[in-house]
Amino acid sequence: MATLISGSATGEGTKRYAMRLVGKVVAEHFRELDGLAVSTVGLGTYLGPEDGATDVLYQDAIARALELGVNMVDTAINYRHQRSERSIRTALATAISRGTVRRDEIVVATKGGYIPFDGAVPRDARAWFTETYLDTGIVKPGDVAAGSHCMTPRYLADQIGRSRTNLGLDTIDIYYLHNPESQLEAGDRQEFLTRVRAAFEALEAAVREGTIRRYGTATWNGYREDPGAPGYLSLADLVSVAREVAGADHHFKVIQLPYNLAMPEAFTRANQKVGESFVPLLEAARRLGVYVMASASVYQGHLTKNLPPVVAEFLPGFASDGQRALQFVRSTPGIGTALVGMKSTAHVEENAAIAQRPPTPWSEFQRLFSAAGG
Collapsed DSSP state (helix, strand, coil) of residue 47: coil
- Residue 6 located in a structural domain: no
What is the band of 110 on the pLDDT scale with cuts at 50, 70, 90? Answer: very high
- Residue 3 located in a structural domain: no
Q: Which own/partner pairs from 120-123 qualify as long-range (CB within 8 Å, at least 24 positions apart)?
A: 120/50, 120/81, 121/81
- Residue 109 located in a structural domain: yes
Query: Which pLDDT score, from 0 to 100, does residue 10 have?
Result: 98
Query: Mean pLDDT throughout 104-123?
Result: 96
Q: Please return the burial class of 210, using the count of CB atoms within 10 Å of its CB with bins 0-12, 13-18 and 19+.
A: exposed
Query: Which pLDDT score, from 0 to 100, does residue 146 have?
Result: 87
Tell me what percent of the chain is helix, strand and coil, each rounded to the nearest 5.
Answer: 45, 20, 35
The percent of residues in the chain predicted with pLDDT above 90, rounded, is: 90
Amino acid at 111: K
Query: Mean pLDDT throughout 281-303?
Result: 95
Q: How many domains does the chain have?
A: 1
How far apart, in whole angstroms, are the C-alpha atoms of residue 367 and residue 291?
Answer: 25
* Residue 325 predicted with pLDDT over 70: yes
Query: Which pLDDT score, from 0 to 100, does residue 370 have?
Result: 76
Instruction: Give the model confidence (pLDDT) of 40-77 as tens digits.
Output: 999 999 999 999 999 999 999 999 999 999 999 999 99
- Residue 1 located in a structural domain: no
- Residue 29 located in a structural domain: yes
Instruction: Give the model confidence (pLDDT) of 158-216 as tens digits.
Output: 999 999 999 999 999 999 999 999 999 767 899 999 999 999 999 999 999 999 999 99
The domain that contains 295 carries what CATH number? 3.20.20.100
- Residue 4 located in a structural domain: no
- Residue 205 located in a structural domain: yes
Query: In whole numbers, what is the pLDDT of the chain averaged over residues?
Result: 95
For residue 30, what are the domain limits?
A: 11-371
CA 129-179-39 angle, 5° bins = 120
Query: Which pLDDT score, from 0 to 100, does residue 367 have?
Result: 85
Query: Mean pLDDT throughout 238-260?
Result: 98
What is the band of 300 on the pLDDT scale with cuts at 50, 70, 90? Answer: confident
- Residue 98 located in a structural domain: yes
Query: Which pLDDT score, from 0 to 100, does residue 188 have?
Result: 87
DSSP string, 132-181: IIITTTSS-TT--BTTTB---HHHHHHHHHHHHHHHTBSSEEEEEEE-GG
